[in-house]
Structure 1
Amino acid sequence: MDRRIEEAQTRGAHVLDKAHRRTTIAITMIVTTVAFEAMSANMIMPMVATELDAVSSYGWAFSAFLAASVPGMVLAGRLTDRGRLRPTFIGSLVLFTVGLTLGGLSWAFPVFVLGRALQGFGGGLYIVAVYVLIARLYPEGLRPRMFAVMPAAWAIAALLTPWLAATVASTWTWRANYLGTPPLILLATVAIALSIGSSGDEKVRKDPSGRPSVLRYTVAAAVGIGLLQFAGQNFSVGLLPVLLAGTALLVVGAPRLLPVGSLRFAQGVPAITTLRGVLGGAYVTAQSFVPLLLVEERGVSTSAAGAALSVSAMAWAVGAWYQGRKSVQHARRMLLRGGCALATIGITTMSLLLVPDLPAMAIAVGAGVVGGVGMGMAVPSISVLLFEQSLPGEQGSNAAALQVSDSLGSAAALALTGMTFAQLESSTAVGFAAIVTLAGLLGVCATLLSRRCFTTRSAVLLPAA
């Protein structure tokens, strides 16, 4: 679309104007609900494992979710590029709801894991459909603001989940956290179905991939990510074969699910896709071990450690809000590079938690705010750039690749740091120092890689000779 036409359409538009209000509210409701479920699952999983007699193997509940999400992402990319946005979105939420219901009614742990897998598959469909929905139903000038709405929804969930999930589980049962969520999702599903209309389901390309079937590569990558996640979460020497098998499967499958040139950081969409995985892996890795260090080494209460993470989530929302302001949208290059740099500074500042004489909570909150603001600026910018540089028939497949990269980066980084921490388990401080160093190096790589994410509009839209 000509930029002058785009600017004319965006002028005076808002995410809550008459044309977009229903869709924006529905997306916010869905994202908040899914975020609550994801966070509450971490909190109540020990209760689930105890009641279903699966304390030693409850890590499979997380691995099943993550592994099943990969084929959901890939399938959603192909379906949405073929003009199937509405059924993809509705199907994703129905599957997610079925998984929640099965989890809440589970009488044995294998049944619960099956429910988590259905949730994961539906979640993979859902996250890609959300991205494509924003690309199709919102003009380019409003997309940064919508990508700011999503972190805000997660921040709301981060504030409410610790209290709400604990209250529900203690007052009734952990099952209520699963069975109480589907009505909200179904209500939002109706609103989304009415909002998408024919414009979102326009058939834009017959074959979005342009390549042979990627089913076997999708399965390989999905199983590989699941094995890596499990090994990283429960690492011991006995799980080394699991780690190696997961790595081998990823080496075979993952490159076929990413844009050509992603592994060599080719300029444009390939570099954007890779950056999401590198940056996400760096930040998630560092954040995952902060509560452990605060509680085990610095004597901070569990609730205070959780509050530090909630502050970081709020800072992420602030950074996302800032990048969505109309006055700064022209400076996307600065927003991305600056965001990556701030995230890296926040990660490396966490190393000060190892200094006993310094106030632990002040450092945790300060580092979390700096890193959170940086991630809030960078992650939405990555999404904005992806759709700026994607043809209509590539929006779904590119969004799917972005999410696969994010899952791959987080799983690989957590597996590596989990293995490192396990080998240094005699000293939590030494293990944390090694983890922050690794995460900081990934952050530096992300900052350097951000330079490869920009290209001219004409270079993207003109077909190759």
Structure 2
Amino acid sequence: MSTLARPYRALTIGLVVLVALMAFEAIAVTAAMPAIVTALDGLTVYGMAFGGTMAAGIVGTTVGGGWADARGPAAPLWAGTAGFVAGLLLSGLATGMELLIAGRIVMGFGAGLATVAMYVIVGRAYPEELHPRVFAAFAGAWLVPSLVGPAVAGVLVELAGWRWVFLGVALLTAPAALAVAPSMRSLADHRGDGARHGGRVLWAVGAAVGAVGLHFAGERHDPLLIPLFLAGLVATAPRTLPSGTFALKRGIPSLIVTRGLLGAAFAQAEVFIPLMLTRERGYSTAAAGVSLTIGAVGWVAGSWLQSRAPRITPERKIGLGVVLVATGVTAAAVSVLPEAPIAVLLTGWVAGGFGMGVAYPTLSAQVLALSAPSEQGANSSALQLGDQLFSTTVLALGGTLFAAWVASSASAAFLSSFVIAEALALLALVAVPRTVLPLRVRSGGTSVERSATGGAGATVEA
């Protein structure tokens, strides 16, 4: 069965286009922001244009999970899409940097709501065997924006003005949402107690403040604020995730940790590879950017292949992905040596991207598989939230360490960044065996798997 078969065609196309538009917005705005802050005289609050969006996304992700469980995914999807469009319009029509930041905050909150809702829609609208293919399509939806987003943003800024980076995406979002609408009426209704997730929202606000504060403190290398915000993040983040997450409880908690560690490892290495190539190897910015492109291509290739290998167990797919990411990070670390051929880095980073493509969709599909229908929103929210919090924390601390060392020894600074990434990948490998739940045999010859939050999963014959 295909995700483009008649019952799923419009839904698949609509969801993939929505993901692609959100990806384009994230990538294109980064490229256009220098022109925007010049036009609006907003250099002093440049970081807030990104930090505010990230914080709002963390809160939106948490709200969306509980809302989808309590009322179904349609309401948070429409509210999130409306918020995303409203934020785009507010940003595109902004007359000052304050309004643009407000628009970016609304946009981030809306995107957080909609993204979680889309995960729940995947769980309820598609049969389980198609879940890996849908998530592979989501990964593919990031490829084109990754390749052409900066260039398209540059052309829009030059020919039409920076406002159309926002307004153009807003105009295209409505048709994609309309393609999804008919399928919303036929979704199975599995409503849970979303109210019990309400307390997580307040903790998510605290975690968002801690994450953004840590990011800014790291940028400013503030020795007082860094431990303060880190302590706040450590105190609040565990309350936003399922019980037993940081104890590597089997099942969903370990899936969340594995994805968080893996995403943080990949991001930690990826942000320093272009800088290393330009500073230490003398490559141009465009040439150094090729490393990011081939990583994205590898990611999409891995996503496509994992979705067509149903006989390979999820545990093996996740383990293979982690090993390949660790291999890619090792190649980056070796490339710190001036005598190392650049082909080592490029080959390794293709493997790393491929590993992410194999592991990420599998992790997402497994969370849905182990979740009771009434818990898919909360668990999908936790998966994405863990991803955001792990990556934000590691990038802030890794960037601070890099800045402290780069003046005295650039090679040591780059090597330390890759060592951190390698350590995270190896920790993820330790967590992989705990992503699988043992079957508990019941009387009558059947076994049942339970989700991390206690909901019943699929019943299978022993």
* Equivalent AA in structure 1 for residue 394 of structure 2: A
Matches of 1:392 and 1:84 in 2, distance apart? 10
- SS for the counterpart of 1:15 is coil
CA contact (8 A) 1:90 1:193 kept: no
Query: Residue 270 of structure 2 is aligned with which of 287, 302, 313?
Result: 287
Query: Residue 438 of structure 1 is aligned with which of 380, 397, 420?
Result: 420
Q: Which residue of structure 1 lines up, in the alignment, with residue 432 of structure 2?
A: 450
Q: Which residue of structure 2 lines up, in the alignment, with residue 204 of structure 1?
A: 191
Counterparts in 2 of 1:107 and 1:129: CA distance versus 1, 3 Å: same
Query: How many angstroms does 1:51 deviate by?
Result: 2.1
- SS for the counterpart of 1:459 is strand
CA contact (8 A) 2:322 2:428 kept: yes
Instruction: Give the helix-richer structure, 1 or 2.
Output: 1
* Equivalent AA in structure 2 for residue 122 of structure 1: G
Matches of 2:346 and 2:312 in 1, distance apart? 30
Structure 2 unaligned regions, length at least 5? 440-447, 457-462
Query: How many angstroms does 1:270 deviate by?
Result: 0.8
CA contact (8 A) 1:103 1:115 kept: yes
- SS for the counterpart of 1:102 is helix
Query: Residue 320 of structure 2 is aligned with which of 334, 338, 361?
Result: 338
TM-score by length of 1: 0.92
* Equivalent AA in structure 2 for residue 392 of structure 1: P
Query: Residue 65 of structure 2 is aligned with which of 77, 101, 124?
Result: 77
Provide the aligned length of Structure 1 versus Structure 2.
445
Aligned residue runs from structure 1 range 167-316, under 5 A: 167-200=155-188, 202-205=189-192, 207-208=193-194, 210=196, 213-232=199-218, 234-236=219-221, 239-316=222-299
Q: Which 10-residue stretch deviates more, 438-447 or 79-88?
A: 79-88
Matches of 1:223 and 1:329 in 2, distance apart? 43
Matches of 2:225 and 2:13 in 1, distance apart? 43
Query: How many angstroms does 1:329 deviate by?
Result: 4.3
Q: Which residue of structure 2 lines up, in the alignment, with residue 122 of structure 1?
A: 110
Query: Residue 376 of structure 1 is aligned with which of 332, 347, 357?
Result: 357
Matches of 1:277 and 1:209 in 2, distance apart? 26
Query: How many angstroms does 1:190 deviate by?
Result: 1.2
CA contact (8 A) 1:217 1:252 kept: no
Matches of 2:198 and 2:102 in 1, distance apart? 30
Is 1:68 aligned to 2:68, yes or no? no
Is 1:353 aligned to 2:335, yes or no? yes
Matches of 2:243 and 2:128 in 1, distance apart? 25
Query: How many angstroms does 1:79 deviate by?
Result: 0.9
Counterparts in 2 of 1:291 and 1:212: CA distance versus 1, 3 Å: closer
Aligned residue runs from structure 1 range 110-189, under 5 A: 110-189=98-177
Query: How many angstroms does 1:57 deviate by?
Result: 3.0
Q: What value does the CA root-mean-square deviation take over the aligned residues? A: 1.7
* Equivalent AA in structure 1 for residue 310 of structure 2: V
Q: Which residue of structure 1 lines up, in the alignment, with residue 387 of structure 2?
A: 406
Is 1:385 aligned to 2:386, yes or no? no
* Equivalent AA in structure 1 for residue 191 of structure 2: V
Query: How many angstroms does 1:182 deviate by?
Result: 0.6
CA contact (8 A) 2:295 2:349 kept: yes
Query: How many angstroms does 1:212 deviate by?
Result: 6.4
Matches of 1:380 and 1:55 in 2, distance apart? 38
Is 1:45 aligned to 2:26, yes or no? no
1:7-44 deviations in Å (ceiling 9; x for gaps)? xxxxxx21000000001101111111111111112212
Query: How many angstroms does 1:94 deviate by?
Result: 1.0
CA contact (8 A) 2:60 2:112 kept: yes
1:99-133 deviations in Å (ceiling 9; x for gaps)? 11111122221211111111110111121111111
TM-score by length of 2: 0.93
Matches of 2:198 and 2:180 in 1, distance apart? 32
Counterparts in 2 of 1:240 and 1:110: CA distance versus 1, 3 Å: farther
- SS for the counterpart of 1:193 is helix
